[in-house]
Structure 1
Amino acid sequence: MAKRRIVMIGSTGLIGRQFAARTAGEAELHCLQRSGGGPGTVHVADPEEWPTLSTSLAPDIAVSALGTTMRKAGSEAAFRAVDLDMVAAFAEAARKGGARQMIAVSSIGADAASRNFYLRTKGEMEARLGALGFERLDIFRPGLLRGPRGGDRRAGERIGIALSPLVNLVLRGPLDRYAAIDALDVAAAMAAIADASEPGTFVHHNRDIRRSAHD
């Protein structure tokens, strides 16, 4: 049986690196990147070329772990260009190429009607993906991500991660979805549901993510 073909963007980020490492030996993984190497087959190209590549690769599954920060983007417009427009263009092209499943990393609290710019942008991204007609759409909404991100951390994030073992003790029950979570668990859960057969749209919060990662 031929291996499932996965096309991915965001493979150099915290979740993406770990998803790619887990998946490269089990699937035909194609990573679209601006530079560098990594697991699977890496296609180095400008982001403007990613949609064309995505369609031509005719994937079974499309995966986005792409995301930036306001600090790196420099403006709200630049942030939207990455976290909304780039993700949506990639997904639309993958769907055109035949992808039946889309897996995307979003954020806890994502809501297209939110007054918060970040959460509104993530919610709009989810809505754009939902309108593309994938047989199965998996949206991951993890809490604060823990993992080796080097110097690419804001001071608030570093403090939040340091305090997360104590804070997570308080965030139980329905509040669990706001707790910190290991990026490795998110990547493992994404790998576990890749090529899942049940159709529909599925939103995964912390509890679902941990369950899928450790089943």
Structure 2
Amino acid sequence: MSTDVKGKTAILFGASGFVGSYLLEGLLNDPDYAQVTIVVRKNLNISHAKLKMLIGDYHALPTLKDEIVADEVFIALGTTKKSTPDQKIYYQVDHDYPVLAARIAKERGAKSVFLVSAVGPDAGSGIFYIRTKGETERDVIAQDLLHTHIFRPSMIMGDRKESRTLEKALIKIFSIINPLFVGPMQKYRGIEGKNIAKAMLAAAKKPAGKVNIYEWKEMNDLL
């Protein structure tokens, strides 16, 4: 672990994404963290005293290994079918990259991993998206960090920079029907992207077990 900084160190994958951008803001503003490293494909043009930016992608991770050093690793990687129609590339972004990130971070001393997944993952599913999320969770857990935190949002609410017409329509629908999801169905309630990030940062401050799963209720309990 870094010995020249006082406070926790974190590394974030997916800092340019919707939840990841909120995570980055939260980590940089949190006095508990002395250094925040991000791995991004292109310069985000952000300057902060605590920020260390590494330029690279999935293929570049092994070459960045010596700089992927942190107490905690936050993974908010993901893509969409529209932007990544090729299932092989989609799987690489949604599965291979998070698993490799967790593996390298652990090898370099990370004790805790925080992963954004999705509601209803199932490694045995015949549905590609659900199966991918299930396999990602399974394989990140298998990296055997001291603490693994998995966050399973349903519809991720909030205003995105990019225009997603269908998603905007679904968010409007969820804002109306959210109260109808009660009991075991609560996990399907939509949640704001900024609140997912807040829940992840709150979880990092609490004692935790080996594997911790957060669905809608558990995330809201942390807010």
Do the structures match in fold with TM over 0.5? yes
- Matched with 1:182 is 192
Letter in 2 for 1:66: L
**C-alpha separation in 2, matches of 1:107 and 1:200:** 20
Structure 1: which 5+ residue stretches go unaligned? Answer: none
Per the alignment, in what secondary structure is the counterpart of residue 190 of structure 1?
helix
The question of whether the paired residues in 2 share the 8 Å contact of 1:55 and 1:93 is answered with no
- Matched with 1:35 is 42
**C-alpha separation in 1, matches of 2:97 and 2:62:** 9
Moved segments of 4+, more than 6 Å: none
Q: Percent identity?
A: 26
**C-alpha separation in 1, matches of 2:178 and 2:66:** 41
Per the alignment, in what secondary structure is the counterpart of residue 70 of structure 1?
coil
Per the alignment, in what secondary structure is the counterpart of residue 161 of structure 2?
coil
**C-alpha separation in 2, matches of 1:21 and 1:54:** 24
Letter in 2 for 1:174: P
Letter in 2 for 1:8: L
The 3 A distance-change label for structure 1 pair 208 and 125 is same
- Matched with 2:171 is 161
The 3 A distance-change label for structure 1 pair 152 and 85 is farther
Q: TM-score, normalised by structure 1?
A: 0.92
**C-alpha separation in 2, matches of 1:20 and 1:192:** 14
Q: Could you say what the CA RMSD is over the residues aligned between the two structures, in angstroms? A: 1.7
The answer to which of 95-104 and 142-151 deviates more is: 142-151
Per the alignment, in what secondary structure is the counterpart of residue 82 of structure 2?
helix
Measured after TM superposition, the shift of residue 133 of structure 1 is 1.1
Per the alignment, in what secondary structure is the counterpart of residue 213 of structure 2?
strand
- Number of aligned positions between the proteins: 212
Q: TM-score, normalised by structure 2?
A: 0.89
Letter in 2 for 1:107: A
Letter in 1 for 2:21: R
- Matched with 2:113 is 102
